[in-house]
Structure 1
Amino acid sequence: MDEVILVNKMEGVVKQMAEQMLAESGICNCPRCLLDVLALALNSLPPKYVVTNIGNAVTNVDLDSSQWKANVTMAVCNAINVVKSRPRHS
């Protein structure tokens, strides 16, 4: 039997959007700030867990709807604003 893992599909979606939005925003995108944005955004969104074989791409999870995109965009924007106003480094 192939080894399987549990994956929160939202992590990849949020990370991709956060990296893009941080690059466009002009604020700090160091690893600490990126992880703070990811943690804040993911904690405000419902998880989307899937089980997949190790090494396989996670597919067929419906995150393509406009409502999901809007929810993720709003969560990432809010997280960026929090991190921008209170970065946890000097």
Structure 2
Amino acid sequence: MYTIKNMMEELVQKYYEKIIDELNVCRCEKCKADVIALALNRLPPRYCVTEEGKIYVKLKELEIQYEVDIVAALAVAAYIVKNNMKHEERDCKDEI
């Protein structure tokens, strides 16, 4: 049986971890999930089934525009989440 995977999810999570300090957004799990979900909605999915597909997606990741698109989507998502938090800042243990 084959597993279908959207490699964009993995890539967005990876870039989120790389730039979280620059996003200036709450670090709680709810806000993190909101930022990642919003970013993913702005990006095209990159589905793969085989190892070759994963390798192809990883190679595409090396392209500068790919990285720029992901970081831009994360920045927009962080801005939206920061200005529309679903909790009070005082309720968040992992604030900025």
TM-score above 0.5: yes
Structure 1, unpaired ranges of 5+: none
Which residue does the alignment assign to 1:79? Answer: 77
TM-score w.r.t. length of structure 1: 0.82
Give, as a single letter, the amino acid of the residue that structure 1 aligns with 2:56. Answer: N
Could you tell me how far apart the structure 2 residues matched to 1:37 and 1:25 are?
10
Structure 2, unpaired ranges of 5+: 89-96
Higher helix proportion (structure 1 or 2): 2
Which residue does the alignment assign to 1:30? Answer: 28
* RMSD (CA atoms): 1.6
Which residue does the alignment assign to 1:59? Answer: 55
Aligned length: 84
Q: Flag as ranges the 4+ runs of structure 1 deviating above 4 A.
A: none
User: Deviation at 1:4?
Assistant: 1.9
SS in structure 2 opposite 1:88? coil
Could you tell me how far apart the structure 1 residues matched to 2:68 and 2:24 are?
21
